[in-house]
Amino acid sequence: MKVPPWLAGLLIVLVLVLLWWTFSGDGDQGGEAQGGSPTPTSAATFGQPAQTEESTEAQSTEAQSTDATAAQPGGTAEATTPHTQGTPEPTHDQGEDLVEPAGIDTRDWDGIDACDDDILPATMIPVIEDIWAGGPYDHPDRDGTRFGNFEGILPEEHRMYYREFTVETPGLHHRGQRRIVTGGREETDPDVWYYTQDHYESFCEFAP
């Protein structure tokens, strides 16, 4: 019986396909058996992403680059120690509790004695703090204005040397007679502090 040529060709194709399929499967199994590296597909089967040596090296290089950037002055990485800019120290520790004023004769040549500590009222402490801060004052129309020294008790100075400030007297609804008189060119940093409890008839010297 003579086989048609087309049938013979078909049989040859089928044989070749079977041979390719057989040897292809054996080759994969043989590679794994001989310790070959699993393909990305087989690695993904176990829930682990495939990672090549190139990607590992790239991650290492990127980490080193980040560390170097953080070490440089202009780097954008966050530094371990925050940078703080220096601020000038205030003339007085205004953020802390004020030490109670005490009578001190800092200018023995002016003829004004030191105050007795027991006559310095606690109500002068907030006034001192307001003076250091430059206001606002409880009596803005009078506090911080020029004290003329018309009584002549304090040493003679230039016109704007002395300034007066009201010290409240508990129980009164007006300014009363208590005052602080400061002397100096700077309102917030006086050279000398005077106190009067009788509306400028007498003075004593203190230091805050």
Condensed to tens digits (0 to 9), the pLDDT of residues 5-27 reads 777 778 888 888 888 777 775 54
Contacts of 182 (CB under 8 A, 6+ apart): 131, 162, 163, 165, 190, 192, 193, 194
Whether 101 contacts 125, CB under 8 Å: yes
With 0.75 as the threshold, say if the pTM is over it.
no
Per-residue model confidence as pLDDT tens digits over 160-184: 999 999 999 999 989 999 999 999 9
Question: Is 81's pLDDT higher than 80?
Answer: no
Catalytic residues: 164, 199
Mean pLDDT throughout 181-189?
95
CATH class held by domain 107-148+160-207 = alpha beta
Q: Which structure tokens are listed for 12?
A: 């040859």
Q: Chain centroid to CA 188: how far?
A: 26
